[in-house]
């Protein structure tokens, strides 16, 4: 199933209800909240892939498109560029968003925690509009 | 247990099982007919599970591995994959290091928590050389090079000091030797040990004919009237199946760090750590299923609590202080020893104090700067330490560090330099403020042969546990990378052989 169809269904069924009103993320809190994600992912530039793909510049990348990482069929077939809104849906329940994916992450139920993690990740997409508007203005760590 | 109560439990359990949850054990009479019979059934697919399957299968019995997730490998595949081995392995020898079985035993036995399970440590050390050969025989690659890094190398070297062997007081208790064996390949960069290890073992297992079934969740144990474990109920591809295990069931499905209610209840110090660290499958279900048939548990509060302050090495020249502004440990210990001291003995609070020469010098995701000042006195006031204590701490430390001495905690000379160059910086190392990773070590009480023991210390027939589903060699403090994966691999093999042995018996 195409991700946008899934997204539409989730919107229709109220699964995105927790997203409104918008929750403002805090990158400082997100740095700590992202800690467990480091079991598999590094967001820093140049570090590359680990158990999961690298997350540098993630909000400028098409899903499942980075070279050197063996994505699941579910991510390879998906067709969208990561945005904070889509990342929020993904983190809320990875298995539901893209069934069959192999990300080893539990759903994050707390919308604030998801927003914090996204705010932190935005630091590592320096050119994103969201970073200019909603980020904390800091440049990504080397 | 009265039969009526057991049946009530069985009814509740059935609802849980159908909902996809793990449930209390059910009696053979109530579970219906068996859908399948195997000799050894293994729950989980990490290091303990895979080695159990390999060694069971090698005895000629049928073996089935069930993994509840879509991907096999468990926490082991996501870990650094370090295996703590010694006694003079071929890798140690080719890298020019001497070691003995006794030195390895002395380090593990003395550095571990009070009254560790010495029989398991002895068995582990006795089998270390053979176990290295077993790994190589199963295709696990090692690169014959040593690295002098303080943390797992990002290079391809396969040997390093992975614990506190060279730190006080351990260097006086056992002759130091590098025992961290990291699966690697020539030219491989980054942290790959866990993936390399598990890819090799899974390939070896499959080549030998062992089946790994994914999306297959063991949900409850099935017991006979005499209390023996006869098999399991499992949800496989949405279908509830009853699988008889003639030799035994090996529970090797991880610890419980991601079961937050269970962690809060059993391991409060770990609950407060900022960063649960494990595969998402570590939900404690193996432990719960074991307890449901009367198993005892051991040291459920223990685990690793790691605050990885290094690299870079220069920060080890700083000092770590508690809420009173006083040192409490030599900062050059393995970072899990430091984390243990903070989490379990300093109410979760500590700060790293550096001068300009020992500070990180960049924003590091692991620690946050919480105070910076031109003098130590100002820094102490900013941190709200008792009046003038931090100055005293630094003055005393500097007085001896200038002579390369540390009379209080005996930090190694290479990390001893007076802290005297402004600005002075404080990093918060508290469990809920720093990148403070936690993983559980408590689990089912098992014998040295991995039989699960009940509350009276008697073996529950047909039930085995290994890896973090059991309480094995790892304790708080964690004494070196590779103890947990090493224990899992080694005692997983023991479990597989013993369960297979019951088939013939």
In this predicted structure, the answer to whether residue B1 has a pLDDT above a threshold of 60 is no
Enumerate residues 6+ apart whose C-beta is below 8 A from B437.
Answer: A35, B273, B274, B275, B276, B277, B304, B305, B306, B308
| Confidence grade of residue A22 (pLDDT, cut at 50, 70, 90) | confident
Q: CB-CB: which of A28, A100, A104 is closest to B279?
A: A104
Query: What is the Cα–Cα distance from B235 to B219, expressed in whole angstroms?
Result: 7
For residue A1, name the pLDDT band (cuts at 50, 70, 90): very low
Per-residue pLDDT, averaged over B78-82, amounts to: 94
Is residue A7 over pLDDT 90? Answer: no
Q: 0.80 exceeded by the pTM?
A: yes
B284, B256 Cβ separation under 8 angstroms? yes
* Whole-angstrom distance, CA of residue B163 vs CA of residue A111: 39
The structure tokens 């057991």 sit at B6
Tell me the C-alpha distance between A42 and A57, whole Å: 11
Q: Average pLDDT in the B398-415 region?
A: 97
The pLDDT tens digits of the residues spanning A54-74 come to: 999 999 999 999 999 999 999
* Partner B contacted by A38 (CB < 8 A): yes
Mutation pick from B154, B275, B281 vs chain A, by most beta carbons of A within 10 Å, is: B275
- CA distance between the termini of chain A: 37
Over residues B40-54, mean pLDDT: 98
Structure tokens at B505: 């018996």
Per CB-CB distance under 8 Å, the chain A contacts of B197 are none
Task: Test B362 with A31 for CB contact under 8 angstroms.
Answer: no
B226 touches chain A (CB under 8 A): no
**Tokens 């295996």 appear where?**
B83
- Lowest-confidence range among A16-30, A125-139, B424-438? A125-139
Side-chain half-sphere CA neighbours of B393 within 13 A? 26
* Cβ <8 Å between B435 and A40: no
Give the per-residue pLDDT at B154: 73
Q: Do A50 and B190 touch (CB under 8 A)?
A: yes
DSSP B295: B
ipTM metric? 0.89
Write the residue in B195, B276, B364 that is nearest to A36 by C-beta.
B276
Per-residue pLDDT of B264-294, as tens digits, reads 999 999 999 999 999 999 999 999 999 999 9
Other CB atoms within 10 A of residue B206 CB: 11
pLDDT of residue B152: 67
Tokens standing for B32? 């219906």
């Amino acid at each position: 199933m195409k991700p946008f169809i899934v997204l539409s269904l989730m919107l229709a069924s109220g699964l995105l209800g927790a997203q409104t009103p918008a929750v403002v993320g805090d990158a400082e809190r997100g740095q700590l909240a992202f800690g467990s994600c480091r079991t598999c992912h590094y967001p820093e530039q140049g570090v590359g892939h680990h158990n999961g793909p690298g997350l540098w510049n993630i909000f400028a990348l098409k899903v499942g498109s980075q070279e050197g990482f063996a994505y699941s069929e579910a991510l390879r077939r998906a067709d969208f560029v990561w945005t904070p809104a889509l990342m929020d849906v993904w983190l809320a329940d990875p298995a539901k968003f893209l069934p069959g994916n192999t990300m080893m992450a539990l759903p994050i139920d707390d919308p604030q925690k998801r927003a914090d993690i996204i705010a932190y990740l935005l630091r590592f997409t320096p050119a994103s509009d969201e970073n200019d508007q909603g980020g904390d203005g800091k440049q990504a760590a080397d | 247990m009265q039969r009526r109560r057991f049946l009530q439990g069985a009814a509740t359990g059935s609802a849980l099982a159908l909902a996809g949850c793990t449930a209390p054990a059910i009696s053979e009479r109530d579970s219906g007919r068996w859908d399948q019979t195997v000799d050894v059934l293994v729950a989980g697919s990490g290091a303990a599970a895979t080695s159990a399957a390999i060694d069971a299968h090698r005895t000629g019995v049928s073996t089935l591995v069930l993994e509840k997730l879509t991907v096999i490998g468990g926490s082991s595949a996501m870990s650094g994959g370090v295996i703590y081995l010694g006694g003079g392995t071929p890798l140690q020898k080719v890298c020019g290091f001497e070691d003995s079985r006794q030195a390895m035993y002395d380090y593990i036995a003395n550095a571990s928590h009070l009254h560790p399970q010495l029989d398991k440590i002895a068995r582990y050390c006795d089998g270390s050389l053979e176990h290295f050969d077993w790994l190589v025989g199963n295709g696990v690659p090692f690169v014959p090079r040593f690295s002098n890094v303080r943390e797992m190398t990002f290079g391809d070297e396969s040997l390093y000091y992975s614990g506190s062997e060279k730190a006080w007081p351990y260097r006086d208790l056992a002759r130091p030797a590098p025992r961290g064996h990291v699966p690697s390949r020539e030219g491989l960069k980054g942290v790959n040990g866990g993936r390399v290890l598990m890819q090799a073992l899974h390939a070896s297992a499959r080549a030998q004919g062992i089946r790994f079934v994914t999306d297959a969740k063991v949900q409850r144990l099935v017991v006979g009237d005499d209390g023996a474990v006869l098999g399991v109920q499992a949800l496989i591809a949405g279908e509830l199946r009853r699988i008889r295990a003639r030799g035994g069931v090996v529970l090797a499905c991880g610890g419980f760090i991601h079961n937050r209610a269970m962690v809060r209840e059993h391991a409060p110090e770990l609950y407060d750590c900022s960063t649960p660290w494990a595969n998402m499958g570590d939900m404690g279900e193996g432990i719960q299923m074991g307890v449901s048939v009367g198993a005892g548990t051991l040291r459920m509060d223990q685990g690793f609590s790691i605050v990885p302050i290094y690299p870079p090495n220069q920060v080890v020249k700083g000092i770590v202080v508690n809420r009173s502004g006083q040192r409490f440990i030599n900062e050059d210990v393995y970072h899990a020893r430091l984390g243990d001291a903070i989490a379990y003995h300093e109410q979760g609070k500590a700060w790293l104090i550096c001068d300009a020469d020992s500070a990180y010098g960049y924003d590091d995701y692991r620690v946050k700067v919480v105070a910076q000042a031109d003098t130590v006195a100002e820094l102490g006031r900013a941190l709200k330490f008792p009046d003038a204590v931090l100055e005293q701490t630094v003055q005393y430390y500097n007085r001896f560090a200038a002579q390369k001495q540390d009379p209080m905690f005996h930090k190694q000379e290479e990390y001893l330099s007076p802290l005297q160059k402004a600005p002075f910086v404080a990093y918060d190392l508290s469990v809920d403020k720093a990148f403070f990773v936690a993983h559980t070590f408590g689990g089912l009480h098992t014998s040295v042969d991995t039989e699960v023991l009940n509350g009276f210390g008697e073996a529950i027939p047909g039930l085995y546990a290994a890896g973090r589903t059991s309480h094995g060699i790892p304790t708080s403090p964690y004494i070196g990378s590779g103890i947990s994966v090493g224990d899992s691999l080694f005692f997983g093999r023991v479990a597989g052989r013993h369960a297979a042995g019951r088939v013939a018996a």
